[in-house]
Structure 1
Amino acid sequence: MNIENNINNENNKNTISVKIGNIIYNLSTNESEDYINGIAKYINNKMDDLANIYGNLNKNSTSFLLVLALNIADDLFKQRQLFNKNSKITTDLEAKVNLLSSKNTYIENKLTESDNNCKNKDNSILYLEDKIKAINKEKDTIISNLENKLNNISTEKDTVISNLEDRLNNISTEKDTVISNLEDRLNDILIEKDTIISNLENRLNDILIEKDTIISNLEDNLNSISNNKDDIISNLKDKLDQSLDENKNLHSQLDEKINNALSQKNAIISNLKDKFNLDLSEKSNIIKSLEKDLSEKNLLIENLKDNLNETTIKLSNIENEDIEDLLLEKDLQILNLEEEIESLKSQLNKSQ
């Protein structure tokens, strides 16, 4: 706002004549005439009020004008304080609305979680879907009411601010009434939301209890299966022990046959030494060849023993049918060894 005393109007502004304190002033301004007359009326009313209080002061005196300026400044500061209070009230209301929005988001998250946990429960899903639809409908209604209420509050705030001078004496009472009504409404909504959340949490607890019951039944079934598995393993261990015992007997028999073969070999060598006193130069080659063959046979017997030990180790990891095949293979090796010993005897006989 720019108002000047019209001494030299060189800015093409409007010139408005107003009477203040029985003195006419020509003012140069860009404001409307009604606005300037309103200000002049306000100042004249203030001057009349002060004249009634300070009757001994001249309206044109410096003291009177100073008191007038202080009163106008006081009205201005009170108006600013009231405006700041209204702004704080508006901020508090917006904070409460944000709190309601957060609670609404929490409810939506709870509903989503409930829907995910109830996917495999057909009857529960139908119930919850109907419940969710009703809650969403109620939620939309509440949000719509809150938005309308906020719009009304915003409109009312703008109206209060624009008419602040006319409503200075009544604004406090009206403000308290509006705040009380809003707080009652907000409290009712919060209680209603808490009730809905409590019902949903109870429903979720029932579903979790049902889930725990199903898990307990599954664990009982698994324990039963585990007991049967232990019986099967025990039977397999018994069969394996039996196979190991048979293998030990086989090993003993094989050692006995090998020892017999060695005894026969030693007997043959002893008989050859006793029966033959051949010339060393003529028989040395034959004896060396026979000793070489016997060494090879001894090596073969040692290898056979090693193979037998390896077979004993492997028997703990194979089935009964595999054990029978190995036994058959060892019997064949023993027969082949006996045939070779007989062949060696024949060669010795021929040498004789």
Structure 2
Amino acid sequence: MGKNKVNVKINGIEYTLTGNEPEEYLFSIGNFVDKKIKEILRSNLNHSNTSATALAAILIADELFKLRREFETLKQVSVEPKIKLEELEREYEKLFEMYNSISDENNKLRQENQELLTTVEEFKSHYQEVSMTVDTYNEQLDALQRQIDDLTLQKQSLENEVNQKESDIEELKDKLLEGEIEIVRLKKELKEARDFNKKSFYNRG
């Protein structure tokens, strides 16, 4: 895939930007840097183009560093919900296994109960015991079902939280990439401005 190439003007000087990103993105980078430098020049008329460029680079670097810190903080914050989610998933699986085990046992007891119904008079006492056992298992199943429902809600809530944190992280990654690209462009511009000033100085000499 070929790289995109666009021409942008930064502080009156035309530059060619190339990259894999869309042309609109490359234009936005150049316009952002141009706006930053012009704001500095308007705010203080004593600034030269070189000093304004350097100050713009410093301001963008400051934004980049702050975004990096925020990115790292969000990464750390997102770890805890993931760990809790994993713990809940393990507990959920354990309870679900217990639920299946008790459900299977309950089904067996129900089947046994149905068989015993044919000989109720002869095995009445045994039937009553089994019925009590079935009721106990039903109570346990109901309790486990409530726990599973609660865990399902918690799991969904944590999944939503993790998805939101990951979305925030991806957004910060995009901002970091934009900041890093801007710094590279500004370094290039600063170097060109310095070279130009040196050349002008030697020409005057």
| 1:30 equivalent in alignment to 2:44 | no
Partner of 2:150: 142
Quote the RMSD (CA, aligned, Å). Answer: 3.7
| 1:70 equivalent in alignment to 2:78 | no
Alpha-carbon distance, 1:127 to partner: 3.3
* Separation in 2, partners of 1:51, 1:142: 60
Alignment of 1:217-228 (within 5 A): none
Partner of 1:17: 7
Could you tell me which of 68, 72, 90 is aligned with 1:84?
A: 72
SS at match of 1:57: coil
| 1:40 equivalent in alignment to 2:30 | yes
Partner of 2:81: 93
Alpha-carbon distance, 1:78 to partner: 1.2
Alpha-carbon distance, 1:39 to partner: 1.3
Alpha-carbon distance, 1:102 to partner: 5.3
- Residue 165 to residue 87, structure 1, CA distance change in 2 (3 Å): closer
* Separation in 1, partners of 2:70, 2:12: 33
The letter for the 1-side match of 2:71 is: F
* Separation in 1, partners of 2:41, 2:132: 80
Alpha-carbon distance, 1:92 to partner: 0.7
SS at match of 2:5: strand
Could you tell me which of 40, 57, 62 is aligned with 1:50?
A: 40
SS at match of 2:70: helix
Say if 2:40 and 2:56, in contact at 8 Å, map to a contact too.
Answer: yes
Identity of aligned residues (%): 23
Alpha-carbon distance, 1:162 to partner: 4.1
| 1:153 equivalent in alignment to 2:166 | no
Alignment of 1:271-282 (within 5 A): none
* Separation in 2, partners of 1:30, 1:108: 49
Task: Give the alignment's TM-score, normalised by structure 1.
Answer: 0.35
SS at match of 1:16: strand
Partner of 1:126: 134
Where do 5+ consecutive residues of structure 1 fail to align?
Answer: 1-11, 168-352
SS at match of 2:47: coil
Alignment of 1:233-252 (within 5 A): none
The letter for the 2-side match of 1:142 is: D
Alignment of 1:181-330 (within 5 A): none
* Separation in 2, partners of 1:137, 1:109: 12
For 1:189-237, what per-residue CA distance to the aligned partner results, in whole angstroms no more than 9, with x for missing partners?
A: xxxxxxxxxxxxxxxxxxxxxxxxxxxxxxxxxxxxxxxxxxxxxxxxx
SS at match of 1:72: helix
SS at match of 2:9: strand
For 1:97-136, what per-residue CA distance to the aligned partner results, in whole angstroms no more than 9, with x for missing partners?
A: 23434555776799889xx9xx996455333322232233
Deviates most, 120-129 or 19-28: 120-129
* Separation in 2, partners of 1:13, 1:102: 47
The letter for the 2-side match of 1:77 is: F
Say if 2:92 and 2:148, in contact at 8 Å, map to a contact too.
Answer: no
Query: Which structure is richer in relative contact order (CA contacts within 8 A, separation 6 or more)?
Result: 2
Task: Give the alignment's TM-score, normalised by structure 2.
Answer: 0.56
* Separation in 2, partners of 1:13, 1:96: 43
Say if 2:81 and 2:161, in contact at 8 Å, map to a contact too.
Answer: no
